[in-house]
Structure 1
Amino acid sequence: MLALGMAWLVPLAWVVWTAFRPKGAALGSGWTWEWTLDNFASVWHTAPFAQYYLNTLLITSGVLTVQLVSLTLAAYAFARVRFFGRDTLFMLFLVQIMVPPDVLIFSNYRVLQELGLLDTKLGIMLPYFASAFGIFLLRQSFKQLPRELDEAARVEGCSRLRALWQIYVPLSRPVYVSFAIVSVSYHWNNFLWPLIVTNSADNRPLTVGLALFAKSTESGGQWAEVSAATLLVAAPMMLGFLLFQRQFVSSFMHSGIKG
């Protein structure tokens, strides 16, 4: 495991080292202790990375907010509400997990085109407002909670929605944390779908902005600037993992995934 970890760290260490090196010394064979922040300043002013950051934050937070509401309601219905065809409908949701998102790119693009949502933040977010994985994960957690909680809530005069928000949601907090980690990391790094949907810097996320910057003539062959831009994109996720590593591991251990 240590050997695999070291192998994974080699390209990351090279990117960090190159990002802080002067342009002339970035690919030089000599060893010097020179370092600079000019690469980051140049990247920040050459491309609209501030706008890319804002777009990415809006997309990831917007998708996660809608997902938490939709998967909570759907998971509760599949776990506690009896209705005709419930098991069949749930199996159809599980089938969606086996379908790679890239397979649906063309059909999703046609739908957005008809709705006039191309090159919009809403267009990037819309296909991900529902998550079959999240529904499955939360349904398993809801089913593990004792039904006596429902009976006690009804005796106290609670409606289904009140019992859901005051009993089920607080008791399933580790599952929500686990899903939030997966959702934020996926949509922060998502590249292909935003690349196809967006055409302007006003709606591009960081991943697409980084790819266009790396291919631009302004940064061609300037590995110090490309490394600095890469570090700008990856740093928030790496910093979040380092700060909340224990919470990440604990949330997955207690999320009920094994159920």
Structure 2
Amino acid sequence: MSRAPSQRLAYNEPTKLDTLAAWLLALMWVLPLIYTVWTAFHAPEYAARFVWNAPLTLANFARAWEAAPFARYFLNTTLLVVMILAAQLVLSTLAAYAFARYEFRGRDIAFSLVLVQLTVMPDLLLVENYRTMASIGLIDSLFAIGLPYFASALAIFLLRQTFLGIPKELDEAARMEGASAMQTLWRVYVPLAKPIYVAFGLVSVSYHWNNFLWPLIVTNSVNARPLTVGLQVFSSVDQGIDWSIITAATLMTSAPLLIAFLLFQRQFVQSFMRAGIK
């Protein structure tokens, strides 16, 4: 009898105030996007005012593409996020499997240190990371941008929790079939953790595609700079700020992530729900 009220409360429909708050938050997020799209597809004289019959143009995108080596920036960014994600998945899988299935001295302490890393903001490590990259001669390279992120505490934590929920009987069955520890990991554990890999991959790609401060600090030339750093060329104080070309460049930078989300939003949501990420 005591559980009935709580169960009814859990499935209450949202109130009018909840709906209004949701609409206000949605407007706060969508209005800047609407302005960006409007400005990018219209001539500069329409950047500060809405004229519904104003002619559309693609000239801003052409000007933005010619003003900066976008092809190189796209290549750098793609290589960077692929390199980081591949290293994170491999290293985190091995670490999570060790934490979940092996008994060794100092295991709990080591895992506690992994959890502590989750509380440390990456910006706090900028100086030490720069000194490390400089000492090994990696400044101004894609490897310098990605190396500090190769080990992911979040991925280790999520995969460890998932591996702990897999019955140990599957290990025993695989061993009886003659599978080694690595074969058991890649053929049993990894397929069962697919939603976790998808969910973490989305987080990792989105973060490193949009990361700005660390690539700005550790790179000096076009050869290693990603898209976010390349956008600086459009905000020169000496030449003035042209919002039409800036918004066009911003749309080109964010377009891959936006298109991917629109095409695979159902898979995105399902992966996050299965992974337990809130």
Residue of structure 2 equivalent to 1:116: 137
Matched, 1:91 2:91: no
* Partner-residue secondary structure (3-state), 2:275: coil
> Shift of residue 75 of structure 1?
0.3
1:121-162 Cα offsets, whole Å, 9 max, x none, are: 000000000000100000000000000000101111111000
Give, in angstroms, the shift of residue 29 of structure 1. 6.2
Q: Quick check: 1:43–1:229 contact (8 Å CA) kept in 2?
A: yes
2:261 to 223, 228, 241: 241
Distance 1:136 1:28 in 2: 49
> Is the alpha carbon distance of 1:154 and 1:190 closer, same or farther for their aligned partners in structure 2, counting shifts above 3 Å?
same
Q: Which amino acid aligns with 2:85?
A: L
Question: In structure 2, what is the equivalent of residue 101 of structure 1?
Answer: 122
CA contact (8 A) 1:21 1:224 kept: yes
CA deviation vs aligned residue, 1:161-204 (integer Å, no higher than 9, x gap): 00000000001000000100000000001000000000001111
Question: Percent identity of the aligned residues?
Answer: 56
Correspondence 1:1-259 to 2 at 5 A = 1-28=22-49, 30-215=51-236, 217-218=238-239, 220-257=240-277
- Does the 8 Å CA contact 1:178/1:255 hold for their aligned counterparts? yes
| CA spacing shift, 1:31–1:134, aligned 2, 3 Å | same
Moved over 2 A (4+): 23-33, 211-218
1:189–1:132: structure 2 CA closer, same or farther, 3 Å change rule? Answer: same
> 1:19 touches 1:39 (CA, 8 Å); kept in 2?
yes
Q: CA, structure 1 residues 212+250, in 2 after alignment: closer, same or farther (shift >3 Å)?
A: same
**TM-score (normalizing by structure 1):** 0.96
Question: Structure 1: 5+ residue runs without aligned partners?
Answer: none
Work out whether residues 234 and 242 of structure 2, in 8 Å CA contact, stay in contact via their aligned partners in 1: no
> Distance in 2 between the 1:171 and 1:241 partners?
24
Is the Cα–Cα contact under 8 Å of residues 137 and 257 in structure 1 kept in the other structure? no
What is the identity, as a one-letter code, of the residue corresponding to 1:18?
Answer: T
Structure 1 CA distance for aligned equivalents of residues 55 and 276 of structure 2: 50
* Cα distance between partner residues in 2 of 1:142 and 1:256: 14
Paired with 2:126 and 2:92, the residues of 1 have a C-alpha distance of 22
CA apart distance, 1:32: 3.0
Using the size of structure 2 for normalisation, the TM-score is 0.89
Provide the aligned length of Structure 1 versus Structure 2.
Answer: 257
1:47-71 Cα shifts (integer Å, max 9, x gaps) = 1111111100000000001111000
For 2:198 and 2:72, the matched residues in 1 are separated by 27
Structure number with bigger Rg: 2
Shift in Å, 1:213: 2.3
**Residues 246 and 29 of structure 1, relative CA distance in 2, 3 Å threshold:** closer
Give the alignment's Cα RMSD to 1 decimal.
1.4
Distance, in Å, in 2 between the alignment partners of 1:8 and 1:176 is: 28
Would the alpha carbon gap of residues 43 and 89 (structure 1) be closer, same or farther in structure 2, given more than 3 Å must change? same
- Residue pair 2:234, 2:241 contacting (<8 A) in 1 also: no
- 5+ residue gaps, structure 2: 1-21
Whole-Å separation in 2 of the counterparts to 1:156 and 1:127: 39
Task: Name the stretch that deviates more: 142-151 or 249-258.
Answer: 249-258
Question: Do the aligned partners of 1:42 and 1:225 also contact (CA within 8 Å) in 2?
Answer: yes
Deviation at 1:257, TM superposition (A): 4.7
Deviation string, structure 1 residues 87-106 (Cα, Å, up to 9, x no partner) = 11100111011010000100
